Structures are given as C-alpha cells and as structure tokens.
C-alpha cells in the first residue's frame, strides 16, 4: 500500500483552490496524474515544515519546490507525461522556460515571480483593495498589521534590484517592460494552444499544470487594476483552458460560486479592507505620537538585597520591542 501523501499550500478564493501559483501547479498535476494527495490549507507559510509552500510530506520525506514534488510523484508512478514523445518532452521544458523568463521571471532561491509580485504587491490599488486585506485576514494579530506592508516593500525592492538596471532606470520603465514580456508570453501560449483542449491534445500534462498555475490567479482574482487580466481575457482559448480545468478537475463552476455568494464575498472584502486600513492608520498615528513625545531616561531601580547569604539582584533590563 502506497504511503499517504499530504500537500501543504496556501488557501484559495475567487473560485480558485489556491491563490499561490506554485501550489496550483502541484495541485493540478496531482489531479492530472491521479495522485491521491490530501491537501492541507495553511495561511502562514512559516508553519510549513520548510518555511515555504507548497510542501509535500510522505512518511518521513519532506519535499518543497514544484519541480522536485512533481519528480517525486513520477517516481511513485503518477506520471502525467507518459504518453509524450521525446520532442514533446523537449517542448515542455522550452515552454516552462518561456513562462519563467517572460511571464513570471523567477528568483530561483525564493520562487517569487515579478508579474505576480507587481500585480499583487506593488500596484497600489490592487494592494490596498485586495492583497492587503486578503492576507491580513489570514495572518494572526498583530502580525497582520505590519507583515503585508513589509511584504509589499520587499516586493518593490526585489523588482527594482533585479530588473532596475540599464537601460531600465525607473519603476515606470521596469513596469512597462514586465508587462510587455508578460503579454508577449500570453500571445505565444495562445498561439501554441490553438483550438486544442490542452497543449498536447486531449490529455493534460506537466505543461498544462504549469500554465494553469501561472494564469489562473491573473485570470480570476478581482483586481481594480487589470491591465494584464484584460489582455488575457482577449485570448478566449486561454480563458477556456483555465475554466475547463477548474470545472473538470476541481469541480468548480466557472464563476467559482453563485452571484449571491459573490456579492457577499465582495461586501465582506470591502468591510475587511476598511477595518485593516483603519487599524493600520491607528498604528501609524501611535508611532508618530511616540516619536514626538519627550523621551526620559529609564529610572534606575533600587538594588535589593536578598536574605543573608544571598546575592544582590541585578537591575531589570529594558525589553526591546
């Protein structure tokens, strides 16, 4: 009997089983290959065994990173590519490299993607209206008050550090190049898919899992600024590709929930946005007041003597935040 396999990954919303591209990739491949994974949704990645998601656990084996997880599943005889020819296998590697270079250029050590970083964390309207309240609602207090802002700053710094060299000097120039590359990649994927259900015919493979994982969040999340989403929706075969996988393999409707459910979700998100912004503003005001208030040196505590034969107690140290 095969050992049980458990996948830890970020949770989902907007009709997606997960908002995390790498988690979606592994979940889709497991569906395609028939791998019996038990999905464990976690909202704090530091709770994962290796501090990141997705993570696959099978007995005493712990594996992270999608490529390594997929290789492990293949060794367990869950292979979605067994019918591919050598040429199709080479094409798979080439298109995955295209995704990583043009659509979602990866930082190899972190698995983060520039277009996802920018769309979720740098674009101001998207961050304030969607990303910040969504993540804040899933991170325990008081971390929820400052972690999203820190993640946003780190995303911006990472983009500028990695992409902000000659001839791209400003954030505006970097953003323009990121979106040009992403749109070019979408066009190439649309042309390759054509009228087929999947990229290599009627059966989904590794390439389909990667493309779905990368495209589905851009396609489904309700952002106020939707530059890349609008371009994606002009390519109906890619949209149909995502919808078919959600419907056939994840048993989700195209919308993900009923219209009434969508209205409720939108209303709850709006209330949550207002609450998180209010709390963040309050914390900022408290910080300003503390900085402006007169600072007094800490009072020295009188040294106390212990009973006979004891030692003197040392002054209490001031705790740093």
| Of 53-57, 138-142, 196-200, 205-209, minimum mean pLDDT range | 138-142
Per the domain annotation, does 201 fall within a domain?
yes
Query: Concatenated DSSP letters for 83-109?
Result: T--HHHHHHHHHHHHHIIIIIS-EETT
| pLDDT band of 206, cuts 50, 70, 90 | very high
Rounded Cα–Cα distance for residues 34 and 257 (Å) = 25
Tell me whether residue 239 is in a domain: yes
Q: Which bin fits 75, alpha (ψ -120 to 50), beta or left (φ > 0)?
A: alpha
127 in any annotated domain: yes
**pLDDT confidence of 242, banded at 50, 70, 90?**
very high
Domain that includes residue 231, residue range: 85-260
CATH number at 227 reads: 1.20.1050
pTM of the predicted model, to two decimals? 0.74
CA angle 128, 185, 253 (to 5 degrees): 60
Give the DSSP letter string of 154-200.
HHHHHHHHHH--TT--SHHHHHHHHHHHHHHHHHHHHHHHTT-SBTT
**Residue 100 resides in a domain:** yes
Question: Is 193 a domain residue?
Answer: yes
Q: Is residue 287, in this structure, part of any structural domain at all?
A: no
Burial degree of 63 (CB within 10 A; 0-12, 13-18, 19+): buried
**pLDDT for residue 296 is more than 60:** no
Helices 21-33, 236-249: axis angle to 10 degrees equals 60
Domain assignment present for residue 66? The answer is no
Count of domains forming the chain = 1
Query: Among 64, 68, 66, which residue's Cα sits nearest to residue 26?
Result: 66
Q: Is residue 159 part of a domain?
A: yes
Please state the rounded mean pLDDT for residues 247-276.
Answer: 57
pLDDT tens per residue across span 16-48:
999 888 999 999 999 999 999 999 988 665 555
Q: Which residue has the higher pLDDT, 106 or 83?
A: 83
Helices (H), the chain: 21-33, 66-75, 86-98, 114-116, 124-126, 132-136, 143-163, 171-193, 206-220, 227-233, 236-249, 259-292
Phi-psi region of 104 (alpha: psi -120 to 50; beta: other; left: phi over 0): beta
pLDDT of residue 271: 54
């Amino acid at each position: 009997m095969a050992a049980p396999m458990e996948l830890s990954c970020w949770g989902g919303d907007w009709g997606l089983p997960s908002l995390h591209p790498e988690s979606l990739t592994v979940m889709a491949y497991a569906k395609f290959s028939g791998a019996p994974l038990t999905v464990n949704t976690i909202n704090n990645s530091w709770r994962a065994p290796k501090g990141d998601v997705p993570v696959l656990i099978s007995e005493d084996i712990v594996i992270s990173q999608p490529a390594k997880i997929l290789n492990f599943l293949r060794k367990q005889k869950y292979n979605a590519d067994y019918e591919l020819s050598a040429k199709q296998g080479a094409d798979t590697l080439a298109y995955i490299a295209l995704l990583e270079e043009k659509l979602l250029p990866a930082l190899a050590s972190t698995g983060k993607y520039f277009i996802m970083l920018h769309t979720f964390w740098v674009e101001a309207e998207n961050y304030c209206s969607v990303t910040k309240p969504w993540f804040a609602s899933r991170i325990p207090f008081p971390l929820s008050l400052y972690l999203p802002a820190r993640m946003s700053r780190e995303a911006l710094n990472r983009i500028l550090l990695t992409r902000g060299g000659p001839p791209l000097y400003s954030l505006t120039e970097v953003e323009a190049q990121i979106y040009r590359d992403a749109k070019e990649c979408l066009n190439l994927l649309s042309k390759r898919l054509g009228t087929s259900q999947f990229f290599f015919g009627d059966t989904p493979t590794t390439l389909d899992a990667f493309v779905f994982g990368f495209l589905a969040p851009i396609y489904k999340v309700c952002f106020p600024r939707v530059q890349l989403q609008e371009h994606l929706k002009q390519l109906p075969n890619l949209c149909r590709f995502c919808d078919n996988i959600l419907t056939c393999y994840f048993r989700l409707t195209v919308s993900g929930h009923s219209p009434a459910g969508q209205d409720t979700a939108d209303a709850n998100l709006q209330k949550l946005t207002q609450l998180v912004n209010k709390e963040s503003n309050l914390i900022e005001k408290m910080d300003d007041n503390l900085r402006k208030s007169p600072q007094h040196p800490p009072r020295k505590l009188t040294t106390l003597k212990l009973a006979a034969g004891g030692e003197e107690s040392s002054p209490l140290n001031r705790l740093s935040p």
